[in-house]
Structure 1
Amino acid sequence: MSLFALLGALEQGLVYGIMVLGVYLTFRILDFPDLTVDGSLPLGAAVSAVAITHGMNPYLSLVLAMGAGFVAGMITGLLNTKLKILHLLASILTMTALYSINIRIMDGPNVSLLGVDTVLDTMMGLGLPGYYASPVLFAIFAAVVGVAIVWFLYTELGQTMLATGDNIQMITSQGVDTDKVIIYGVGLSNALVALSGALIAQNQGAADVNMGVGTIVAGLASVIVGETVFGCRSIPRAVFAAIAGSVVYRVAIALALGLKVGSFSFTPSDLNLITAVLVVLALTMPKLKKRFARC
């Protein structure tokens, strides 16, 4: 793998790592399977791109994107808790609706950001070349978000969220309104996913309505790979594992796509197949370790 390919995988791993943290909150903390992320990632991209093209500061557009993602997540939570729709179906309904909403926001299937200022211009203004500016900036964003999540999970609300995902009957018996916890938790998760989408759009120079396809699969794969490789015995370690898992996942994808055996080689269309194989390996690796340890 070349240096540029490695930097590209690192860049992708870090920026998508913010999305993985959002998936971690619903998947591991709340025990809430949420497919809204496939719609909230392009939602964040669409909101940020449209805001920037209308003259808004690119950093302020990130806040606006997070707000939109939070609302999308809250809608999924409301459908589940108040209308008693199964969480999986509730998230699918929101994701489906977001496809049309994103097209409405962009007034079309995509929006170009060529020729406008983005968050990357700040780093490049410091003299860093483009291929170093993106990884450095996204590393800063991922680190800040990761520290914020660790802090949040040690607060009273964060601990309540952990208890809700661990044993909802027990925490309900303590007088906690678990409906609000789920609504806020899913909202926060999708706010992070939307932030990731906004950063991806600014990095790629465009927002597209289809850029969220497969987001949940990549997110779950990164969480599982991270937990398998780095462990999750404490909250800080689990948060680090989620971000690191995203990087490992993207590097593994880059290595697989660059693999050639004779006349055979992988193509971008094989991405879902590679992801499925990685998830299977990550899930079976702990069992294999135990089995070999007994021998």
Structure 2
Amino acid sequence: MNLVVSAIAQGILWSIVSLGLFISFRILNVADMTTEGSYPLGAAVCVISIHLGVSPILAIFFSILAGMLAGAITGFFITVCRIPSLLAGILTMTALISINLRVMKRPNLSLLSYETIFDLRKLIIDSKYLNTIFIGFLIILILIILMYLFFKTEIGQALIATGDNKKMAVTMGICTDKMTVLGLMLANGIVALAGAILAQNNGYADINSGLGVIVIGLVAIIIGEIIFGRSTFLMRLIYTVFGAIIYRLLLLVVLKINFIDANDFKMISALLIALLLSLPTIKAKIRKG
């Protein structure tokens, strides 16, 4: 039972990454590899800030600002330097490896004996995983409300229009370059937020923690769309959270299969992700008959 509750807790926390990717992949239609650098950047900034005596909550805000700066750099490469989005993200991600090392001054840094936001669990429910779910749910709720309200604004609608059809957006007087930079800043700020939250939950930050993050986040979006279908903007955000939880539960099922060796976990995870990402194509072919 504890394993199931733990998987749900991890799914809720990892869904923050998916919500960030939702902006870059689904709204802007940009293949942004910056994610794999901004995630460990958020973790690094958060952990080093706590080490320097900053409160855990304020450290999270520093991480968000660092992630937004990373997104702005990628946006600069795309809009000013006219570098293709995929390559621009890879360039920023590569540079962030060195930056993360400079921030932490080592490959990984522990939060052992330091207070985190999850120490609030002692004041709420006397259960590690249930309190992680509670705090994670609270963060997700605030994040979804803020995203929903933002994309209802004129700027938010301009951002959506930029992703839907750039040429049409330009004719409407929208500066698509500014919207692209803004979207990438928001997306990577949220991803860095996820890095900060998960670093506090795990108790450490590691420069290699961003490896595969973009795929994990994208799978949650795909699962949500496949199972629940496309609906209103708000419901799509909620479905993304459910997608992340379902993905974590699927990984738990894979781990519980006795004939699978622990060393094969990464390979099995990769195959599972490939299958999930292929589901829309498989579903379309089945419909065609």
TM-score bucket (shorter structure): over 0.9
What's the counterpart of residue 197 of structure 1? 195
What's the counterpart of residue 268 of structure 1? 265
What's the counterpart of residue 231 of structure 1? 229
What's the counterpart of residue 67 of structure 1? 65
1:128-147 aligned within 5 A:
128-147=126-145
5+ residue gaps, structure 2: none
Counterpart-to-counterpart distance in 2, 1:36 and 1:114: 29
How many angstroms does 1:265 deviate by? 5.0
1:120 corresponds to which of 109, 118, 121: 118
Residues 119 and 279 of structure 1, relative CA distance in 2, 3 Å threshold = same
Residues 13 and 217 of structure 1, relative CA distance in 2, 3 Å threshold = same
Tell me how large the CA RMSD over aligned residues is.
1.4
What's the counterpart of residue 32 of structure 1? 30
Residue 13 (str. 1) matches residue 11 (str. 2)? yes
Counterpart-to-counterpart distance in 1, 2:55 and 2:131: 19
Q: Name the SS of the counterpart of 1:111 in structure 2.
A: strand
Q: Is the 8 A contact 2:124 2:131 kept in 1?
A: no
CA deviation profile, 1:160-213 (whole Å, cap 9, x unmatched)? 111000010011112211111000100000000000000100000000000010
Residue 176 (str. 1) matches residue 162 (str. 2)? no
1:147-158 aligned within 5 A:
147-158=145-156
Q: Is the 8 A contact 1:14 1:138 kept in 2?
A: yes
Q: Which runs of 4+ in 1 moved over 3 A?
A: 263-267
Q: Is the 8 A contact 2:222 2:276 kept in 1?
A: no
How many angstroms does 1:251 deviate by? 1.1
What's the counterpart of residue 206 of structure 2? 208
TM superposition score normalised by structure 1: 0.94
5+ residue gaps, structure 1: none
Q: Name the SS of the counterpart of 2:109 in structure 1.
A: strand
State the one-letter code of the partner of 1:269.
K
Residues 21 and 129 of structure 1, relative CA distance in 2, 3 Å threshold = same
Moved more, 135-144 or 84-93: 135-144
Residues 283 and 17 of structure 1, relative CA distance in 2, 3 Å threshold = farther
Number of residue pairs the alignment of both structures matches: 287
Counterpart-to-counterpart distance in 1, 2:134 and 2:160: 31
Residues 264 and 250 of structure 1, relative CA distance in 2, 3 Å threshold = closer
What percent of counterpart residues are identical? 37
TM superposition score normalised by structure 2: 0.95
1:76-91 aligned within 5 A:
76-91=74-89
Q: Name the SS of the counterpart of 1:23 in structure 2.
A: helix
Q: Is the 8 A contact 2:46 2:60 kept in 1?
A: yes
Q: Is the 8 A contact 2:144 2:237 kept in 1?
A: yes
